[in-house]
Structures are given as C-alpha cells and as structure tokens.
Amino acid sequence: MLADAIAYLLDPSSWGGSNGLGVQLVQQTLLTITSLGIVAAFGLPVALWLGPLGKGGTFAINVSNVGRAIPVFAVLGLLSVGFLGSGEFGPYGRAGLATLVSLVLFGLPPVITNAYVGMREIDADVIESARGMGMAEWRLFRQVELPLVMPLVMTGIRIALVQVWATATIAALVAGPGLGNTITYGFSNGRYELVLAGAILVAVIALLLEGVFAYIERAVDPMRRIYRQDAAAQSTTSMNRKGVRL
C-alpha cells in the first residue's frame, strides 16, 4: 500500500485535472494563508494592545479559546448547513466561506495567547529604563517591546499555521476544498492507497512548515543575535590576544 501511495504521488496524471492533487494543494494552501492572515490581522493587534494594559486579557484569551473547546468539524458543519451554506466562494470552492471562518476560529487561540503572555512577561525594569531615556510610547513598542515579544509571537503563528494546515483537510467532509478530497474519495471507494497518499502529502508539508517557521522563530530572537554577536566578539578578541603573544 505504501508503494502504491508513493507511486500515486509520483504519477503526473494524479496532479492534473479539475480535482487533481495540484488543484487541491492550491486550494488548501489558499485556505491556510488566508485564514492565517485574518488570524494575524485580528488577533495580534488585540493581544499586543491588551498585554501592556493588563486588562481584558483573560477575557480575550477565554473568548479565543472557544475555538479549542468546540470541535472544528462541529463548527464547520453548523456553518455550512445552517448559517453560511455550502455554495461556491470564489477560488476557495464549495463551503469555502464556512471553512475559512472555522479555521480562523481554530487559529486564533495560540496567536492571541502567545502574544498576550509575551507582552505581560516583558521585564518592567526594561520598560522603565526605556521610558527614563525619553522614549515615546510608540518608539518604546517598536524598538523594545516588539523585538522582545517577537519569538513568542512567531511561536504562536507557527502553531496556528501547522494546526490550520492540517485541519483544513476536514473541509472535504462537507464537500469543501483541499487535499481532504483525496482522502475521503479513497475511503469511499476502498482505495486506501489514496488515503495514505493524501495523508503523506499533508504530513510532509506540515513538517516543512514547522521547520521553516522554527528557523524564522530563532532568527528573530534578539537574545540569540546578541549571544552570537558576543560569541563572535569574544572569538575575535581571543584570536587578537593570541596574535599579540606570538
């Protein structure tokens, strides 16, 4: 079965057609990018604003956690059948709007929670020192608070991205777009190599996304940059001292 699944993935004809793997991959990628963009545009400003205030944060986190408490499939089914319908929604296909709303609700909790907690955990002495140097609030946020909170923000985005990407496959259960169509078709027709092929493709891309964003997360960490700069400076000083001794 594994050999058949790999052969299916490597077969160019599997990627063609109006409902081939290529179209499904584009649909799922579009769903993921759009959902994550909405999550970041809505969740990050709220969390970054409430963090320094210390008020309303618990309420915002609890509201966002509704997306975790309620199963995504239940929300998707409710929206596609009862509220938003399962009609075509532009390039997102059937039930595209219901799928987008469900994924946004599912992606909000890690983004809001991480950003809010990151802002609350910034050392108060650092903030007071910056203010004592005459920094305006906007400059304080841009040059001090945001760089310090960025690693946690990127962690939240990374978690949301992988979750949204993997969860988008369930859209096929309500005739929606994405790679889940290959998996559901395989189950319905007893072609389990297609189920395995779809699962492999989703898992491999999820691992790639995890790795790329983990690298970005480390790259934007100011403490890592400072550590690397200190290490480079110490190495240069040590080499200079050895040169003087020689």
User: What domains are there in the chain, each with its CATH number?
Assistant: 2-12+19-245 (1.10.3720.10)
Look up residue 82 and give its two tokens: 């009862």
pLDDT at 196 over 90: yes
**Which residues are within 8 A (CB) of 224 and not within 5 positions of it... i.e. 6 or more apart?**
218
**Coil, strand or helix at 89:** coil
Question: Which pLDDT score, from 0 to 100, does residue 198 have?
Answer: 92
Say whether pTM exceeds 0.85: no
Give the burial string for 210-221 (b: 16+ CB within 10 Å, else e).
eeebeeebeeeb
Question: Which pLDDT score, from 0 to 100, does residue 195 have?
Answer: 93
Report the alpha-carbon distance of residue 22 to residue 11 in Å, rounded: 12
pLDDT category, 147, cuts 50, 70, 90?
confident
pLDDT at 64 over 80: no
Over residues 46-57, mean pLDDT: 76
Question: Which pLDDT score, from 0 to 100, does residue 236 have?
Answer: 54
pLDDT at 239 over 60: no
Q: According to DSSP H, which parts of 54-92 are helical?
A: 57-64, 66-69, 72-78
Looking at residue 21, its amino acid is L
Kindly provide the residue ranges of all beta strands, DSSP E only, lying in 64-179, ordered along the sequence.
none
Question: Which pLDDT score, from 0 to 100, does residue 74 have?
Answer: 79
What is the per-residue pLDDT across 201-236, written as a single tens digit (0 to 9) for each? Answer: 999 999 999 999 888 888 877 666 555 555 445 555
pLDDT at 246 over 70: no
Question: Which pLDDT score, from 0 to 100, does residue 224 have?
Answer: 62
